[in-house]
Structure 1
């Protein structure tokens, strides 16, 4: 389990470490991301071992987050890497929009084209009233805000500068989950 043996295969390392740590927790050990053993409090049940190993993913499951979150950032979730989990989850929004529209743009330009009121490529409702149009515009602005606040800083700042707590990561992931649920709307 020396991390150097997994260069270019980080997801495999994290999945293996995740499974190993579930078992090690019964004897009070945990293998760190650096490949070093650390003492931890012993677990006595399978569910306790699974929750300890992946508290973050377990909390996301309790919140019933959208399946796209797991699809795009499973390895980051398993390693409880909040910074990269958020980064990958936000990128999943842009990628989902591109897949639905066949557009290649990014950021605000992608959102403006995809969610225009006159010729929307994606709709989150039937746009039949002023209120529904307002909701549609607000949703587009929410996505732009998520990009500006959570994708751009993670893309341009090292994680030692742009720190993110578990609580913030959970809230951000919940917001991204709402976005994916709205993107699932069918006319």
Structure 2
């Protein structure tokens, strides 16, 4: 990426310095990931990559710009270094910032649900409450409730035996739904 002098000037207008951390906190546009963004030569670029290019030069092919400070909004070139995707992953794990891939249920620190809440959800499913209604009560997606209903997640929490509400396509299992479906097939 080539950065014109006017773009470098614009860059310096878009951050503030945090005196405590030394981070230069990006104040302009941000990507959904939290990283700053600005247009360079009409192309939206990540602000930390722009900073690296202005202060340290071109980013070598295949390398990423990583943060020593772990602050995606930081554009301080002293906090930036280049590395491979593998180095980024190793840095993330060494600092305990992994995305918890493979950690399920309560062992995942980002989990909204715990065993007690799932137990309550299972009771509501057994009573015939819909996935969407339960999801709204617990602040999770209806897909999460569906996975619990089918035993595909939180499978270690016991379900009531022989309860029709824990089978797929629940709406087609009621007597009225079965009769409607059979009369439709006969027509």
Q: TM-score, normalised by structure 1?
A: 0.27
Q: TM-score, normalised by structure 2?
A: 0.27
Q: Hey, which of these two has a bigger chunk of strand by percent?
A: 2
Q: Hey, which of these two has a bigger chunk of helix by percent?
A: 1
Name the larger-Rg structure: 2
